[in-house]
């Protein structure tokens, strides 16, 4: 809320003097350092408004080095966008480990309590292009580059802990299927089309991931309010050479929250940069986003004790079986200085590890170890992308790699090979005892085959566990998402195949989705024509369910585990008209700010607006430049002229949408009439029991009123407002 303070405005200084004629020598002018216009090679430019010509109206000359350099650079400013994760935003920050983790790993950045490591973190959507919306239903990338003293460690993950496929050989097929269809390049940034669901319906291993992507996890409220996961099972190796398996988690301190699907679609129209803007503005305001790093540690001896395979990237380790140990905090505290140079050119790689962190035999991870380098070579122009400033390690680089496109390092001396004697043997190999990286000597044996282990063949148990772990409204959202997505599929056979898979997860789920699609649930699932099921075709005989059984649930899988929670950085729209209740609005703002939230004024028009006490304010939004989908709650202030809102159709829609999207809706005095106009309730001031606990009304702002508003925002949404789906009797 911006309050205007009166101030005298000084007139601008008058300019005097006429410009000298061009054929006269100009008076010497001192130009501050760093402000001179130059070529790429540092030569000062005298005229950047006109190209060099043979006469004022003559042809341009080829010798105009400035024109050629400027146009050539412009022609090559665009680099190929990422095949996936093209649309992203990022920030700088720091990671601080709480206690030494030397009992688990020899990684230096985890070895001493309080040690801080600079990081660069990039968030992204997966399927869409750079120009798509932030609010597409999609997986979100969560990639962290640690600039450690031993080199860069890249933890390249997502906001979903599992993946669609078990083997990297299927990754090109997955991406081809989810991208816009090649014959017409539609749809953009969406999975609701035939090729994607054709592929998925033939890949039963995707069913667990599909439950996550169709859930609210695919529609985060903010990058700052979503979890991150390393997806794969890694190894931690300590100084004694002992190895343990590990899964990495990022836990947001603001909790895990989502928006509604209808809300996401409207945000895409109102502000397609919603997540990008949210991250940028929070950091600029000093409300630094924070996550805790969590580890799930599994001893080598326990590798096979679960009812699933640790190497299977379509499976999680339920936190009830292996608790997440929170070991450090990530804080993002600085926005990039240049989006292209940093956010666009940053190159992450699963293979960027440091001593003490190693890989497992996860077949999806193994393929990623090849793919990342290969794509950076094309996207960033050659083998020297690691020399781009955002990718350079803080640890010194010494090796015999030379030359190549865009080489920036100037290597001296005659030696560029190893072993050598002319260079004194440098650069020298680093012994393990001195910190050299040594791959963990995991035992392996077996014939060379194209196959997968039998423990990879249970494709439905964890999909069911995820679905059954959701709150009732979260299950309803999954069902509606499947109805929407499969309702866009034109081929009936594909819809039927998918419903057949859903029946293997939960009968009610399949029946409700089938009802929305106008089809029957198949009596048996269609076996896929690939090698993702056992050769004998009997998947049930190979399913391991001693722990992940049909009735298993895991509480942390539901986002309701995050409520109630902090309301820091939440935005509340405060709707005001002329002569509004200044004292009441000030009390609401103070109550919100005490919890780290914001109260932002929305008025009928922009410009100064006076409260009933004579104070003058400058509203942040007009009713036409705002929408309730951009806020977490709405409060309609009292005032003699508050009834003017009733004639504003946009104002009625504003509060109606907020209520529809299950947000806290509050009003005092005559502001309550706007809620009634939106059919949220009638006679609420006279009714001691309003419609629900997230609809807060009062004759005036009191301490009890603001406490109820804060509590409603802390609960994120009142999802019980939504109508339930039911099967016909």
- Other C-beta atoms lying within 10 Å of the C-beta of residue 492: 11
Peptide linkage before 131 cis (omega within 30 of 0): no
**CA 259 to chain CA centroid, nearest Å:** 13
Alpha helices in 349-434 (DSSP H): 363-379
Q: Is the dihedral of CA 462, 463, 464, 466 positive or negative?
A: positive
Q: Rounded to an integer, what distance in angstroms lies between the CA atom of residue 242 and that of residue 248?
A: 18
Element (H, E) at 297: strand 290-299
Torsion of CA 139, 142, 143, 144, to 10 degrees: -170
Q: Rounded to an integer, what distance in angstroms lies between the CA atom of residue 268 and that of residue 260?
A: 12
- Helices 649-660, 261-270: axis angle to 10 degrees equals 140
Peptide linkage before 249 cis (omega within 30 of 0): no
Q: Rounded to an integer, what distance in angstroms lies between the CA atom of residue 658 and that of residue 664?
A: 7
Q: What's the token pair of residue 113?
A: 């309590």
Assess contact for 351 and 372: CB atoms under 8 A: yes
Element (H, E) at 67: helix 65-75
- The reply to whether 158 belongs to the active site is yes
Q: Which of 66, 92, 158, 232 is catalytic?
A: 158
Alpha helices in 595-727 (DSSP H): 649-660, 672-677, 703-714
**DSSP character at residue 516:** H
Coil, helix or strand for 588?
A: helix
Element (H, E) at 539: helix 539-542
Question: In DSSP terms, which residues pair with 603 in a beta bridge?
Answer: 622
Q: Rounded to an integer, what distance in angstroms lies between the CA atom of residue 559 and that of residue 217?
A: 8
Integer-rounded Cα radius of gyration of the chain: 30
Q: Which of 85, 232, 275, 477 is catalytic?
A: 85
Short-list 310, 296, 317, CA closest to 363: 310
Q: What's the token pair of residue 144?
A: 């962290």
Q: Rounded to an integer, what distance in angstroms lies between the CA atom of residue 641 and that of residue 390?
A: 54
Assess contact for 228 and 291: CB atoms under 8 A: yes
**CA 472 to chain CA centroid, nearest Å:** 25
Q: Which long-range contacts (CB under 8 A, 24 or more apart) does 99-106 make?
A: 99/327, 101/236, 101/295, 101/327, 102/238, 102/239, 103/238, 104/236, 104/238, 104/244, 104/246, 104/295, 104/297, 105/236, 105/237, 105/238, 105/356, 105/357, 106/237, 106/238, 106/239, 106/355, 106/356
Residues 6+ apart with CB under 8 A from 217: 159, 160, 226, 256, 258, 559
Instruction: Please provide the DSSP assignment of 480-512 as one string.
Output: HHHHHHHHT---HHHHHHHHHHHHHH-HHHHHH
Coil, helix or strand for 236?
A: strand
Assess contact for 668 and 701: CB atoms under 8 A: yes
Catalytic residues: 85, 158
């Amino acid at each position: 809320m911006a309050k205007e303070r009166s101030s005298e405005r000084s007139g601008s200084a008058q300019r005097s003097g006429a410009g000298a004629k061009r054929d006269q020598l100009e008076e010497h002018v001192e130009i501050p350092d760093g402000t001179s216009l130059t070529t790429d090679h540092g030569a000062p430019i005298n005229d950047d408004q006109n190209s060099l010509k043979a006469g004022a109206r003559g042809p341009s000359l080829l010798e105009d080095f400035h024109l050629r350099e400027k146009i050539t650079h412009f022609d090559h400013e665009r680099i190929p966008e990422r095949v996936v994760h093209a649309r992203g935003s990022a920030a700088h920050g720091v990671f601080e480990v709480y206690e030494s983790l030397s009992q688990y790993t020899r990684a230096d950045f985890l070895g001493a309590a309080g040690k801080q490591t600079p990081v660069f973190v990039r968030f992204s959507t997966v399927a869409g292009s750079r120009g798509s919306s932030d609010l597409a239903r999609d997986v979100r990338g969560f990639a962290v580059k640690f600039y450690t003293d031993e080199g860069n460690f890249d933890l390249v993950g997502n906001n979903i802990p599992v993946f669609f496929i078990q083997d990297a050989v299927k990754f090109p097929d997955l991406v081809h299927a989810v991208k816009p269809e090649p014959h017409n390049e539609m749809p953009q940034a969406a999975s609701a089309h035939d090729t994607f669901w054709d592929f998925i319906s033939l890949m039963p291993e995707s069913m667990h991931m599909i439950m996550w992507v169709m859930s609210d996890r695919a529609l985060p409220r903010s990058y700052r309010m979503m979890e991150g996961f390393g997806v794969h099972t890694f190894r931690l190796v300590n100084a004694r050479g002992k190895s343990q398996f590990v899964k990495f988690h990022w836990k947001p301190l603001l909790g895990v929250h989502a928006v509604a699907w209808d809300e996401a679609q409207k945000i895409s129209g109102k502000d397609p940069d919603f997540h990008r803007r949210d991250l940028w503005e929070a950091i600029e305001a000093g409300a630094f986003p924070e996550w805790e790093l969590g580890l799930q540690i599994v001893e080598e001896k326990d590798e096979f004790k679960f009812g699933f395979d640790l190497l299977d990237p379509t499976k999680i380790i339920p936190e009830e079986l292996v608790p997440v140990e929170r070991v450090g905090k990530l804080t993002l505290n600085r926005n990039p200085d240049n989006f292209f140079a940093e956010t666009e050119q940053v190159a992450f790689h699963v293979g960027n590890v440091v001593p003490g962190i190693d890989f497992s035999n996860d077949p999806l991870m193994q393929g990623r170890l090849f793919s990342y380098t290969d794509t950076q070579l094309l996207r960033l122009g050659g083998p020297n992308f690691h020399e781009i400033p955002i990718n350079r390690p803080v640890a010194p680089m010494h090796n015999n790699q030379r030359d190549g496109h865009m080489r920036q390092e100037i290597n001296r001396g005659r030696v560029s090979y190893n072993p050598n004697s002319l260079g004194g043997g440098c650069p020298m190999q680093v012994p393990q005892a001195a910190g050299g990286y040594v791959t963990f000597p995991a035992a392996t044996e077996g014939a060379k085959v194209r196959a997968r282990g039998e423990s990879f063949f249970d494709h439905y148990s964890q999909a069911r566990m995820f679905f059954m772990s959701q709150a009732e409204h979260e299950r309803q959202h999954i069902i509606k998402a499947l109805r929407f997505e499969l309702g866009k599929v034109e081929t009936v056979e594909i819809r039927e195949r998918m419903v057949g898979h859903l029946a293997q997860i939960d009968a009610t789920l399949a029946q409700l989705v089938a009802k929305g699609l106008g089809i029957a649930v198949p009596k048996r699932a269609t076996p896929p024509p690939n090698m993702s099921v056992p050769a004998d075709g009997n998947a049930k005989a190979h399913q391991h369910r001693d722990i992940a059984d049909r009735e298993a649930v895991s509480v942390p899988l539901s986002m309701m585990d995050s409520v109630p929670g902090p309301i820091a950085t939440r935005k509340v729209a405060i709707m005001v008209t002329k002569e509004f209740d200044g004292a009441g609005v000030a009390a609401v703002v103070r109550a919100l700010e005490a919890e780290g939230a914001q109260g932002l004024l929305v008025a009928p028009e922009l410009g100064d607006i006076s409260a009933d006490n004579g104070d003058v304010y400058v509203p942040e939004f007009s009713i036409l430049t705002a929408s309730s989908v951009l806020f977490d709650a709405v409060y309609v202030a009292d005032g003699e002229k508050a009834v003017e809102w009733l004639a504003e159709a946009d104002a009625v829609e504003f509060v109606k949408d907020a209520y529809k999207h299950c947000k806290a809706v509050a009003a005092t005095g005559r502001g309550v009439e706007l809620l009634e106009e939106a059919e949220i309730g009638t006679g609420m001031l006279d009714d001691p029991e309003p419609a629900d606990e997230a609809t807060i009304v009062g004759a005036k702002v009191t301490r009890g009123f603001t406490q109820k508003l804060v509590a409603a925002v802390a609960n994120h949404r009142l999802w019980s407002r939504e109508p339930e789906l039911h099967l016909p009797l």
